Amino acid sequence: MKAILKIYSRLLLALMPVIFLPVVINGFGFGKNWFLVVAVALGLLIWGVGLVLDKDKPKINWSPVMGWLAVWLVWATISFFLEAVGVRTRIAMGESGWGMVLGVAGGAFLWLQTVEKGEEDKALKYLTVAGIVVALISLVIFLIPIKKLPINFPSNNPLISISSGWSLAGGAMGELWLLVVLVWAWGQKIWIKVKGRERYIGEAVVASFLVLVTLLDLYKLTKTGLGMLDWRSSWMVAVEALKQKPLMGAGIGNFMEAFYWWRPALFNLSPIWANIYQWSGSWLLQVWTELGLVGLGAWLAIWWQGWKRQNDRKSKIKVMVLGLWLLVMPFNLVGLLLWLWLAVGSDGGKIRETEVSLKMGERGFNVAPAMILGLTIIGIVIGGYWWTRIMLGEIYFRQSLVAAAKNDGGQTYNLQIKAISQNVNYAEYRRVYSQTNLALAQGMLSNKDISEEDKQKAVILIQQAVREAKAAVAMDNQNPSYWENLAVIYKQLIGVVDGAADWGIQAYSQAMTLNPVSPVLRLDFGGLLYAMEKYDEADRLFEQAVTLKIDFANGWYNWAHAAKQQKKLTEAVARLSQALSLVSPESGDYEKASGELATWKKELEASSPAATETKPETLKLPEAIPSGVKGKVSVPKTGLEPPAEKITPAPTQTP
């Protein structure tokens, strides 16, 4: 069984950079993560069977690196189980969440069990095959003319969409990690042969090709950028996490929530201010943010022990340099696995063999291997059932979005019910399902000749929309996006459900508490108050929006109109002038705002001719309170108010 485990471990190393699952939305992120957990579970089963069948004394290989990885795993597990059920579901599925931690630690453990002289070179051959495949595909895509991209397969319902930045490794950074590790390894082989005056033509050909594609990846990264959160903001989020939750951090897989809560207001002045990031600009800062000082200390110890474990100088330099790259750059699953393979699975490092022994009975039968195998099987069965349902939910959810793109509302609705039935505690499914219900209800109510039966269906759909939005909030109530979704749904129901406006105000207020530096959230909230003719309150929110982002053109524009409604014409002119200075002179926005400004200036001079309007592009007034469906249906308000306690209702299908 040990020989089987060795081959299996080499395959795991080679497959991880190239595997992806196109049947889910995030085939490279969630897909690689899901596959890793399944592959590690099967590998542990093979290892456990090998322990039982070992006629000699069964042993476990161990090292300080694995010990600190175990600390990281235990701390992440504690963080995981401290969260609510809905949050646990999200972070188990997340690319850098608890599922990833399980898979990475399990993979490192398997590689450690196969360490012996010459194993690293054998595994490197498997990895090289994967690297050449990735490099060839990358080179071919680079040579395809841009006008012929993207290439969709199949064309009617694409599982794969190949664009200029597409890679089997999941992106340019994952591909770069793979190629750099291989270039380093093959460069060492060439150096050894040069010193020994041996022929190295084959090694030189492989290394040259890999270097070529590595340079190509570096070129692509210089053109497209890393797309990462800047280090300054990453540092400030980590420091705020230290202040608020020094030991535990924000929780494993919760960096996006930490970004909502603690990103600096200065971030709003950057070109990427509208982006939401689920990863820090640095893996080390991300671990610090999510797992506090304990997680930070564990990863520094992992890096130190990975370097210290190596016996020769070349290996020490390789593990140190690549380890620093890992810690400084954003999270990348391929890079993390490759570095751990070098730090844990290389055959030039120190390991400690520990005998697995628990003798019972008069003959001293060793029951420890059987107990380990039994626990492994139990864990695989329980976890496998749960992990399979998660995969099915993702498959159904992707299919529902494909149906929505085809404007097939009924199929979208039914597939989302299937997704929720598989993964009932995932808040994101509830959020999207709430929007689907509301869209279907609005479609029915927009029909001039609506029947009584359809009116009743619309009422049920509206009730389900609110219920599912509330369920998303209850499952993940520290995520402002779910409160904002609930607020938007309430906003759409004004004129249909009594009290919807006040409930929308409550939901927006909670969203702002959890996302304190978002100018867009304040703009939207102010828009609701403006539509309710609460101009003074709207004025304060628009002021907060432009304070948080001084170059926010739409914020200045709305703030100007709030002043105009309050008869503060001087302030309105000044604010509109500021908005005008922030838009392009070639845009319709500029023509619209300049026309309004000219009119307002004339009003100041006691003259009021009409201003010529051009169709707006981005500058827009708050939307009016919905009234098109008022009087068509009467929706009971009972049970639609904002959540006061946790609710997780199961979806029911409308007849």
Three-class SS of residue 480? helix
Local structure of 352: helix, strand or coil? strand
| Rounded Cα–Cα distance for residues 460 and 470 (Å) | 15
Residue 187 has a pLDDT of 92
109-118, 144-153, 441-450: range with lowest mean pLDDT = 144-153
- Looking at residue 618, the DSSP 8-state letter turns out to be S
Q: What average pLDDT score do residues 565-580 get? A: 92
Using pLDDT thresholds of 50, 70 and 90, give the confidence band for residue 655: very low
Distance, in Å, from the CA atom of 279 to the CA atom of 229, rounded to the nearest integer, reads 7
pLDDT at res. 49:
93
User: Which range is least confidently modeled, 120-129, 361-370, 507-516, 522-531?
Assistant: 361-370
**Contacts for 34 with CB less than 8 Å, ≥ 6 apart:** 21, 24, 99, 387, 390, 391
Residue 77, CA distances (Å) to 81, 88, 104, 354 in order: 6, 10, 13, 25
**What is the reported pLDDT for 610?**
44
Cα 543 to Cα 73, 501, 534: the distances in Å are 46, 22, 14
Q: Residue 150: its pLDDT value, please?
A: 82
Q: Are 13 and 181 in contact (CB under 8 A)?
A: no
Q: Is the pLDDT of residue 652 over 60?
A: no
Give residue 607's pLDDT band: very low, low, confident or very high (50, 70, 90): very low
Give pTM, 2 decimals.
Answer: 0.89
CA distance 521 to 526: 8
CA atoms within 13 A on the CB side of 353: 7
pLDDT category of residue 30 using cuts at 50, 70 and 90:
very high
Predicted confidence at residue 102, as pLDDT, reads 96
CB 525 within 8 A of CB 532: no
Q: Name which of 238, 320, 347 is nearest 287 in CA terms.
A: 238
Phi/psi for 192 (5° steps) reads: -65, -40
Which amino acid type is present at position 266?
L
Note whether 420 and 429 are within 8 A (CB).
yes
Distance CA 208, CA 200 (A): 12
How confident is the model over 237-259, as pLDDT tens digits? 999 999 999 999 999 999 999 99
Residue % of the chain over a pLDDT of 90: 69
Model confidence pLDDT, tens digit, residues 611-622: 444 455 667 777
Mean pLDDT along residues 580-608: 83
Confidence band of 631 (pLDDT split at 50, 70, 90): low
Predicted local confidence at residue 644, as pLDDT: 65
Rounded mean pLDDT, 580-609 = 82
Q: Which of the 8 DSSP states describes residue 159? A: S
The more confident residue out of 92 and 634 is 92
pLDDT at 405 over 70: yes
pLDDT, tens only, 38-59: 999 999 999 999 999 887 788 8
Percent of the chain with pLDDT over 70: 94
What is the structure's pLDDT at 654? 47
Instruction: Kindly give the interhelix angle for 2-15 and 119-143, rounded to the nearest 10 degrees.
Output: 20
